[in-house]
Amino acid sequence: MSTTATPSPSDDIFDKLHKRTRRLSIFIIVLALLVLTAGAGVFVLYRKLKSVEQSQKDIAFSQFTDEWSNGQDFVQPTVNTIQFMRHGYSISFDKVEYNQNGLHLSGQVGNPTHLWISSLALNFTARPYPYKIRDKWEKEQSGPWQMWWSDDWDIGKAETTVGALNPGSTSFFEVTIPNVKQTSDNIQIAVSFSGERYQYLGR
């Protein structure tokens, strides 16, 4: 006569515990995979957002430099080189000298037009190139409006009186721009007219 072994209650408990443990392990693994996948997705999205944000900053700064440069006349402190400004006016330096007072410039301003110009003053502003002040520019941005050039970023400025600038001729000028030192950093010199009066030739 054969006898059948009856599973003990402890074996049933062990099997149930084993199954639950396996299910829990699978759940933990699946959850970990989901967390890793979500984390990777968030990281990729973050990188894309940062890339888009940087591109927007680059475009905004490029627009700023283009618009700012288009409204200015710039010359380099270079001797014996005729440099043209808007409307055909020219600047030529015969002396460029750095001293304890700043940058000393002298030369000729030319008038190619048919206009008599009187009471003319020349304004010189030494400025760093825009890429040198990008960090400062970005810090000043707030809201939807872009900040224009801040005078705080200028190195130095000076004005000199020319007086009369006749048609088709040149006039001498001499000026010292303070705070400008000879360094490895290149600078731009913005030139503008002020106080001038115009009269057509022949009148």
Distance from CA of residue 41 to its chain's centroid?
32
User: For the residues 48-65, what does the mean pLDDT come to?
Assistant: 76
Q: Looking at the predicted structure, is the pLDDT value of residue 146 above 70?
A: no
Domain boundaries, the chain: 12-71, 74-137+153-200
Closest CA to 92 of 108, 106, 103: 108
- Report helix, strand or coil for 117: strand
- Report helix, strand or coil for 160: strand
CA distances (Å), 79 to each of 18, 76, 97, 147, 170, in order? Answer: 90, 9, 10, 34, 16
Q: Looking at the predicted structure, is the pLDDT value of residue 18 above 80?
A: no
pLDDT tens-place string over residues 160-180: 999 999 999 999 999 999 999
Domain 74-137+153-200 has CATH 2.60.40.1620: yes
> How confident is the model at residue 68, as a pLDDT?
73
> How confident is the model at residue 50, as a pLDDT?
74
